[in-house]
Amino acid sequence: MAVTRTFSIIKPDATRRNLTGGVTKMLEDAGLRIVASRRIRMSEDQAKSFYEVHKDRPFYGELVDFMTSGPVVVQVLEGEDAVKRNRDIMGATNPAEAEEGTIRKTYAESIEANSVHGSDSDENAAKEISFFFTEDEIVG
Ligand code: ADP
Ligand code: MG
């Protein structure tokens, strides 16, 4: 299996509860390496653009409000089959449906405030990484 990269966000519900370390530990314990990391406050324009794919879904406006409601930590993760590995440790979007031992089962507050974002394909991972990071900011 090839070593690949994916993009992760520790969302405002998690940073608010001081869970940056807790989430990061679960990612690292799952075999992912944090090869870039930055704490930022996302602007409304950034959040709208990042979640453009969901612009016709009923929760889009609330999602943008939520993602700009506090600090987030944007990260690049590296590991074998990183996209799938990260999706597996994240758990289902709705924490009520997430498996035991996943980040969302452990930490998420709701289907919206679900603690982490993770890319859903290699193609989207590349797009999302370049949305927040330049290649020289990623140190593997
Ligand atoms: P995932 O983050 O698991 O890839 P989606 O890409 O479908 O899930 O949705 C993006 C984000 O939008 C979710 O992580 C969550 O924060 C929010 N979201 C998804 N579905 C809902 C919903 N039904 N109500 C409110 N927020 C939602
Ligand atoms: Mg998604």
pLDDT in single tens digits along all 140 residues of the chain = 899 999 999 999 999 999 999 999 999 999 999 999 999 999 999 999 999 999 999 999 999 999 999 999 999 999 999 999 999 999 999 999 999 999 999 999 999 999 999 999 999 999 999 999 999 999 99
Question: Angle CA(50)–CA(3)–CA(106) in degrees, nearest 5?
Answer: 60
Residues framing ligand 1 (Cβ under 6 A)? 54, 59, 63, 93, 111-112, 114, 117, 120
Name the closest-CA residue to atom 26, ligand 1: 112
For 138, residues 6+ apart whose C-beta sits below 8 A from its C-beta are 5, 35, 36, 76, 129
Distance 139 CA to ligand 2 centre (A): 25
Residues known to be catalytic? 117
Contacts of 65 (CB under 8 A, 6+ apart): none
* Centre of ligand 2 from the C-alpha of residue 140, in Å: 25
pTM listed for this prediction = 0.98
